[in-house]
Structure 1
Amino acid sequence: MKINQLYEKEIVAIILYTSLFFIILAVGLVVFFYFSRKKIIKKELEKKDLEIHFQQQQLHAIITTQEEERKRIAQDLHDDISSKLNVVSLNSHLLKTPNLTVQETNEITSNIVNLTAKALESTRRIAHDLLPAVLDKFGLHAGIEELCSEFTSSKQVQVDYHNKAVFAVNDKDKHLHVFRVLQELMNNSLRHGKASSISLLFEEEQGHVVCHYKDNGKGFDTTDAKNQHGLGMKNILSRISVLKGTIEIESAVGHGVQVVFKF
């Protein structure tokens, strides 16, 4: 009888200890999952904050770039076209001067014609900077060819361009961003990098168009925050973001620049 009672007590104790173990385990699991979930939520919130911060930076870069472009256009209109038209206006009034000789009249007329031609050329240049006609009419490939030709004709840099990709006709909005990225890269290579050679290759890779860009310029320190957050770099990154693409930039002082971006 006593043996049975002891046996029953042992079974009850085992059941109690086992139940207690599982209760503690369950509580431990609940606490673990609670804090794990809390940590995951915290990381997700941090990720969202970073994404929002990045989007704000990109938006700020786009707005800043637009404002800089507007200032440049306004400056060009004021300093170049307006000044020429003012002189044309003055010369036109001079034609009303009585007793002008034939030679004086011819000189004034010649000045009006020359200044008007220069004002028209400046207007075409500004319009080209806003939207290159060849890009709009004939597509990205023709636009890049013209861009490379313009830089090569400066005699300061030789641009080697090859294209193995097909640019979709319906992606004109995207192509303008690609064109502006290349324009920014080439301007940086020439002005800051003092490059004498630029190579440019487009090819297709797993459903994406990939651009390989390289110059032999002075290069720069990619770890320097000043180089990472300049207006030109912000402009490039904001356009790549609009394209939903990716970009990798490799450079070192004295070793030129290599850029790979895909979209």
Structure 2
Amino acid sequence: MHKLFTKENQIIIIVLIGVLLLLLMGIAFLLFFFFSRKKLVEKELEKNSLEINHQKEIIQSIILTQEKERERIAKDLHDDISSKLNIINLNTNLLKDGGLTLEESINIHNDILEATGKTLESARKIAYNLLPPILVEFGLKDAIEELADSFNNSRKINIEYSINYPNKLLIPQNELHLFRITQELINNSVRHGKANNSTITISYKNNQLIFNYTDNGVGFNSESIKSKKGLGMKNIESRVSLLNGTYSTESKTGKGFKIVVII
């Protein structure tokens, strides 16, 4: 009888140990699931936080670019338009007051005509910078070709281009974004890159618009520059984002610069 109870006790103990082990395994599984889930949530929150910060940077870049553009327009209006209109106004009042010799009147008329011509030229320049007429009338391909040719004619930089762009592939607003990207890149090559040659290639294949730009300028260390993007590069990044595109850059000190934009 004692042996029977002993065996029963042993069975009970084994069952209890088994139940305890199952409980411990269940608890361990729940803890593992909890902490794994917590890590996934933390990673997702970190990813969302990075995306939000990136969007904030893009919005800030757009605002800074707009403010810079407004400042430039205000300066152009003040320096190129207002000053010339003041000259016209002063000379017109001199004619109105009378008492001038024939030679003085002719000189003032000539000054008014010259100032008027320069004012019209400045107004056209400001309007072109806001929205190039050729982009509206003929589209992106002709606008970029004219932009490149104007730089070639100025001899600031030699630009070779090959543009295979289906007409009206992008909506007008997006064509303007890509045009501004091109404009910004060329200006950066001339002002900062000290380049004398660059290339623009646009192609369309597999439902993707691929924009390539290179120059032979001084370049930069792309690793160290990542955290020090200038306003120009931030402007490009924000426009690429508005185009729902992606971009990659490549540069080395003394080895020029390359960017690829895929839309």
SS in 2 for 1:88: helix
Closer, same or farther in 2 for the Cα pair 1:42/1:227, shift >3 Å? Answer: closer
Task: Give the counterpart letter for 1:222 in structure 2.
Answer: S
Give the Cα separation in 2 of the matches to 1:185 and 1:228: 17
SS in 1 for 2:222: coil
Give the Cα separation in 1 of the matches to 2:204 and 2:4: 82
Compute the RMSD of aligned alpha carbons.
Answer: 1.9
Given the alignment of the two structures, is residue 204 of structure 1 paired with residue 193 of structure 2, yes or no?
Answer: no
Given the alignment of the two structures, is residue 191 of structure 1 paired with residue 191 of structure 2, yes or no?
Answer: yes
Task: Give the counterpart letter for 1:106 in structure 2.
Answer: I
**Offset at residue 2 of structure 1 (A):** 6.6
Consecutive unaligned residues of structure 2, counting only runs of 5 or more, are none
Give the Cα separation in 1 of the matches to 2:192 and 2:136: 29
Alignment of 1:31-180 (within 5 A): 31-169=31-169, 171-180=171-180
Given the alignment of the two structures, is residue 259 of structure 1 paired with residue 259 of structure 2, yes or no?
Answer: yes
Closer, same or farther in 2 for the Cα pair 1:96/1:164, shift >3 Å? Answer: closer
Given that 1:227 and 1:233 are in contact with CA atoms closer than 8 Å, whether structure 2 keeps it comes out as no
SS in 1 for 2:194: coil
Task: Give the counterpart letter for 2:25 in structure 1.
Answer: L
Give the Cα separation in 2 of the matches to 1:132 and 1:177: 12
Closer, same or farther in 2 for the Cα pair 1:213/1:95, shift >3 Å? Answer: same
1:214 aligned partner: 214
Give the Cα separation in 2 of the matches to 1:99 and 1:165: 63
**Offset at residue 49 of structure 1 (A):** 1.4
Closer, same or farther in 2 for the Cα pair 1:153/1:160, shift >3 Å? Answer: same
SS in 2 for 1:218: coil
Give the Cα separation in 1 of the matches to 2:225 and 2:95: 59
1:229 aligned partner: 229
SS in 2 for 1:149: helix
Given that 2:141 and 2:165 are in contact with CA atoms closer than 8 Å, whether structure 1 keeps it comes out as no
Given that 2:163 and 2:203 are in contact with CA atoms closer than 8 Å, whether structure 1 keeps it comes out as yes
SS in 1 for 2:218: coil
1:23 aligned partner: 23
Closer, same or farther in 2 for the Cα pair 1:96/1:168, shift >3 Å? Answer: closer
Task: Give the counterpart letter for 1:166 in structure 2.
Answer: P
Deviation larger for 52-61 or 204-213: 204-213
Given the alignment of the two structures, is residue 181 of structure 1 paired with residue 181 of structure 2, yes or no?
Answer: yes
Given that 2:164 and 2:203 are in contact with CA atoms closer than 8 Å, whether structure 1 keeps it comes out as yes
Given that 2:181 and 2:236 are in contact with CA atoms closer than 8 Å, whether structure 1 keeps it comes out as yes
Give the Cα separation in 2 of the matches to 1:198 and 1:170: 24
Q: TM-score, normalised to structure 2's length?
A: 0.93
Give the Cα separation in 1 of the matches to 2:46 and 2:80: 50
Percent pairwise identity = 44
Give the Cα separation in 2 of the matches to 1:214 and 1:112: 45
